[in-house]
Structure 1
């Protein structure tokens, strides 16, 4: 994206490059391209994995109860069509959630986010996780995030927060971006009400739950370090 103009309510600011808000809504098809109200009773390629994740009996065969449980999961996280079919997108979402759970309270155990520069906000695109470090100590998180979709990926590497706007508004997508903290062109941490696992992703920003975006606002400031690494599944 070229030059993008964004404004906070009552104040204008120009931000160059990158994406500044959530991507426009997209239909993400799984197990077919048409929306349908009825359950898809076909056994999907990730049937066993979905059954195990959802606490269902693991037999690798789709049932009405399996379908109902999978549909509920899909509806909660914006996966369409919501048919209960255990396809690649459903399993990608579940496996990302499993990786987040496995991170526990030591998200930086692999040392990929540098911790030798004081306070730093880490963003792991692979696990769709973010957290704040104070040197070797975990200061906040880890928390789930929703980063850039295929084609508007959140760019990797070392960054710094250069502009903050608590009540930001994107004139590109005409959407609110509360607690926006820009760290790379038009890319920012900011709050959204979407599920953190809602596909396909953002326009490049690091979307956060309101409680986490507010905590980041209180813990970070202009000039603070940000480090982004990894590759988001599906990009």
Structure 2
């Protein structure tokens, strides 16, 4: 691609980590909120997920366990309330776990392209396959929030930069592999379940981003499908 097109792509890609950076700073500096005594609408579900006694009534121990989960994943306010955002994260985790080692069981990611990186927005999962053979994953990812959705469709990796830094926001985007108008796979330092999501990029843990870097190359296919919850 031309230098001008590449500069445009980099600028667009830079916006992908504005929110994650804010969330990193916010999550690290925020003080733990006071524990609520209120019983949330998803109290029983949350209690069961956390291995707490399932009685549907908030207790000090329940609140402490819920609050620890919220703090770990950057869910605000982290007051220990069993609300829809907290349960939504837990429910997604359960659905991801249920996939096991058959992420393409529904056959929606093409098996006639050879090596391809698949992104299921609905389940916030990604994996690499070669035909019908699973090569790596599935792994949890963090895609675009409402209004900044990761675009769906068949794409190709068009530019890779292992030490990419946004030229506008001076934000690091390690192991960046761009596949659509500035949207890229890259690592971040926040939880993959940290709401509400990125500004379009497919965020990954450092371990998974490094593995994708070693397995993919320029020109490889990427297929994004589904719809992220809340978008």
Q: With structure 1 as the length reference, what TM-score do the two structures score? A: 0.88
Equivalent position SS for 1:217:
helix
Describe the shift of the 1:76–1:174 C-alpha distance in structure 2 as closer, same or farther (beyond 3 A).
Answer: same
Equivalent position SS for 1:178:
strand
**Equivalent position to 2:109, from 98, 109, 113:** 113
Is the contact between residue 32 and residue 71 of structure 2 (CA under 8 Å) also seen in structure 1?
A: no
Please say if 1:65 is aligned against 2:61.
yes
Q: Identify unmatched segments of 5+ residues in structure 2.
A: 24-30
Counterpart in 1 of 2:183?
187
Distance between the aligned counterparts of 1:202 and 1:151, measured in 2? 10
Counterpart in 2 of 1:103?
99
Counterpart in 2 of 1:122?
118
Please say if 1:22 is aligned against 2:17.
yes
Residues 185-204 of structure 1 show CA distances to partners (whole Å, capped at 9, x for unaligned) of 01000011111011111010
Counterpart in 1 of 2:26?
none
Please say if 1:178 is aligned against 2:168.
no
Distance between the aligned counterparts of 1:36 and 1:143, measured in 2? 29
Is the contact between residue 176 and residue 186 of structure 2 (CA under 8 Å) also seen in structure 1?
A: yes
Larger % of helix: which?
2
Where do residues 37-186 of structure 1 align in structure 2 (5 Å cutoff)?
Answer: 37-186=33-182
Distance between the aligned counterparts of 1:155 and 1:111, measured in 2? 19
Is the contact between residue 67 and residue 84 of structure 1 (CA under 8 Å) also seen in structure 2?
A: yes
Larger % of strand: which?
1
Root mean square deviation of aligned Cα? 2.1
Distance between the aligned counterparts of 2:13 and 2:151, measured in 1? 10
Counterpart in 1 of 2:197?
201
